[in-house]
């Protein structure tokens, strides 16, 4: 098993040598989605607290990173970490009030979050360029970002695995199953949920900053779109929420399917995603990996 994983990683590491510019960008996107879907899974899959505004962390990281590179001349790898830090701060600010309450209220408050951030970004235009967007100095770092994004995907997946196999993860899942019972057992649900939210915000924050560097130009509408949240949710659900490799599977399969199908049928793309969500929720709530886990008696912790 380990040898299989290592050879896949080796192949991906060698890919930029033979791939085209487009190919490198595409695989880099798969890494990004793995990081995003995997992060969403940490809060929503494990604790059952659905985050509908997760793209807010992505956008916050994108702006933090872009501002540091464009205005303060920071080197982009450092700015990417700062993006993660910014997302962390946002998670604390949002998490404190909203996680004290039960699931539905959290979901509702996350729903509006990214619109609010968009408005704030537009308002502070001296800093963010507002509606004009922000341009970064030209730099072709496509390959370097490929590797960093790959590392991010690995880190998020590894973090997932560590959590799922730990006591902490077990407690999170207890909260998901029955929060009242969890509290009765003495679990400090609030701090556990907050911890999960913080961990789930870092990945998107770093990914956002990396994307900003890669694109060279960001504007509010393109870093806070609902479509990014939808895609991460679909990928995690499809692959298997609450599992470690579910989001990885979901990201890889759906991204490839999307590129192939969407190139020919652009108009029905959201409809398909909506249908997949409905289908997964009704028919295979544990996702593909969940199904495989049941069928082949695979360990719970993959």
Partner 1 sequence: MLGQVIISGILSGALYAMVALGLGLIFGVMRVINIAHGPLLMLGSYTTYFLYAHFGINPLLTVPIAMAVLFVVGVLLQRGLVFRVVDAPELSSLLLTFGISIALVNLAQLAFTSDLRAVEYITGSWLVGGLAFSKPRMIAFVFAAGVTGLSFLLLKFTRLGKAIRATSQSREVAMVCGVDVGRIHMLTFGFASALAAAGGALLAVIVAIQPEMGGVWTFKSFLVIVLGGAGNYPGALVGGLLLGLVEQVASLFLTTQLSEVVAYVLLVLVLLVRPSGLLGGRQT
Partner 2 sequence: MTSKAPAALAVALALAVGGVVPATAQGPIRIGASLSLTGTYAKLGKNQHEGYQLCEKDLNAKGGLLGRKVQFVVYDDQSLPATAVRLYEKLITEDKVDAIMGPYSSPVTEASVNVTEKYKKVMVAPLAATTSIFKKGRKYIFMVISPAEVYLEGLVDMAAKRGLKTLAVVNEDTLFSKAAASGALEQAKKKGMQVVFTEAYPKGNTDFSALLTKIKAANPDVIAAATYFDDAVALTRQMKELNVNPKMYGVTVGGDLPEFYDTLKQNAEYIYGATQWEHTLPYAGNQEWFEAYKKEFAHDPSYHSAAGYAGCLVYAEAAKRANSLDADKVREQLLKLEMRTIFGDYKVDADGFQVAHKMVTFQWQKEKKVTVWPDDLSKGKPLFPTPAWTGR
When asked if residue 267 is in the footprint of partner 1 (CB under 8 A), the reply is yes
When asked if residue 133 is in the footprint of partner 1 (CB under 8 A), the reply is no
Site for partner 2 (CB under 8 A): how many residues?
A: 46
Part of the chain binding partner 1 (CB under 8 A), chosen from 102-110, 146-154, 244-252, 254-262: 102-110
> For the chain, what is the HEC assignment?
CHHHHHHHHHHHHHHHHHCCHHHHHHHHHHHHHHHHHHHHHHHHHHHCCCCCCCHHHHHHHHHHHHHHHHHHCCCHHHHHHHHHHHHHHHHHHHHHHHCCCCHHHHHHHHHHHHHHHHHHHHHCHHHHCHHHCEECCCCCCHHHHHHHHHHHHHHHHHHHHHHHCCHHHHHHHHHHHCHHHHHHCCCCHHHHHHHHHHHHHHHHHHHHHHHHHHHCEECHHHHCCHHHHHHHHHHHHHHCCCCCCHHHHHHHHHHHHHHHHHHHCHHHHHHHHHHHHHHHHHHCCCHHHHHHHHHCCCCCCC
Positions in 159-198 near partner 1 (CB under 8 A): 176
When asked if residue 8 is in the footprint of partner 2 (CB under 8 A), the reply is yes
When asked if residue 224 is in the footprint of partner 1 (CB under 8 A), the reply is no
Positions in 140-199 near partner 2 (CB under 8 A): 140
When asked if residue 55 is in the footprint of partner 2 (CB under 8 A), the reply is no
Part of the chain binding partner 2 (CB under 8 A), chosen from 14-22, 95-103, 167-175, 190-198: 14-22
Site for partner 1 (CB under 8 A): how many residues?
A: 43
Q: Which is nearer to partner 1, 108 or 187 (CB)?
A: 108
Q: How far is the CB of 29 from partner 1 (least distance, A)?
A: 21
Residue 19, Cα to own-chain centre: how many angstroms? 25
Q: Which is nearer to partner 1, 48 or 84 (CB)?
A: 48
When asked if residue 71 is in the footprint of partner 2 (CB under 8 A), the reply is no
When asked if residue 100 is in the footprint of partner 1 (CB under 8 A), the reply is yes
Q: How far is the CB of 165 from partner 1 (least distance, A)?
A: 22
| Residue of 92, 93, 111, 7 lying closest to 51 (CA atoms) | 111
Exposed/middle/buried for residue 222 (C-beta within 10 Å: 0-12, 13-18, 19+): middle
Residue with token string 């929060």:
179
Part of the chain binding partner 2 (CB under 8 A), chosen from 71-79, 157-165, 180-188, 259-267: 259-267
When asked if residue 97 is in the footprint of partner 1 (CB under 8 A), the reply is yes
When asked if residue 285 is in the footprint of partner 1 (CB under 8 A), the reply is yes
Residue 100 near which of partner 1, partner 2, none (CB within 5-8 Å, type-dependent): partner 1
Among 73, 126, 266, 299, which residue interacts with partner 2 (rule: CB under 8 A)?
266
Binding site for partner 1 (CB under 8 A): 44, 48, 50, 52, 97-98, 100-105, 107-109, 111-113, 115-116, 119-120, 122-123, 176, 226, 230, 233, 237, 267-271, 273-278, 281-282, 285
């Amino acid at each position: 098993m380990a040898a299989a994983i290592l050879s896949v990683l080796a192949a991906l590491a060698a890919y930029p040598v033979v791939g085209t510019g487009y190919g490198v960008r595409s695989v880099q996107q798969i890494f990004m989605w793995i990081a995003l879907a995997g992060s969403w899974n940490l809060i929503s899959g494990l604790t059952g607290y659905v985050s509908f505004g997760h793209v807010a962390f992505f956008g916050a990281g994108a702006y933090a990173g872009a501002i540091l590179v464009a205005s303060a001349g920071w080197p982009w790898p450092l700015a990417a970490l700062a993006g993660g830090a910014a997302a962390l701060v946002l998670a604390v600010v949002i998490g404190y009030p909203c996680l004290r309450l039960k699931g539905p209220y959290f979901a509702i408050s996350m729903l509006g979050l990214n619109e609010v951030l968009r408005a704030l970004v537009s308002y502070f235009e001296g800093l963010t360029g507002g509606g004009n967007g922000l341009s970064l100095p030209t730099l072709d770092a496509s390959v370097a970002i490929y590797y960093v994004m790959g590392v991010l995907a690995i880190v998020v997946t590894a973090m997932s695995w560590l959590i799922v196999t730990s006591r902490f993860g077990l407690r999170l899942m207890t909260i998901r199953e029955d929060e009242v019972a969890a509290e009765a057992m003495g679990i400090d649900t609030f701090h556990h949920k907050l911890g999960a939210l913080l961990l789930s915000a870092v990945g998107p924050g770093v990914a956002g900053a990396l994307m900003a560097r890669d694109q060279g130009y960001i504007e509010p509408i393109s870093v806070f779109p609902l479509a990014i949240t939808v895609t991460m949710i679909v990928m995690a659900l499809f692959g298997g929420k609450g599992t470690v490799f579910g989001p990885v599977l979901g990201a890889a399969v759906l991204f490839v399917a999307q590129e192939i199908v969407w190139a020919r049928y652009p108009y029905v793309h959201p409809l398909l995603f909506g249908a997949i969500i409905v289908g997964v929720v009704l028919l295979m709530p544990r996702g593909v990996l969940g199904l495989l886990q049941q069928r082949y008696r695979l360990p719970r912790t993959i």
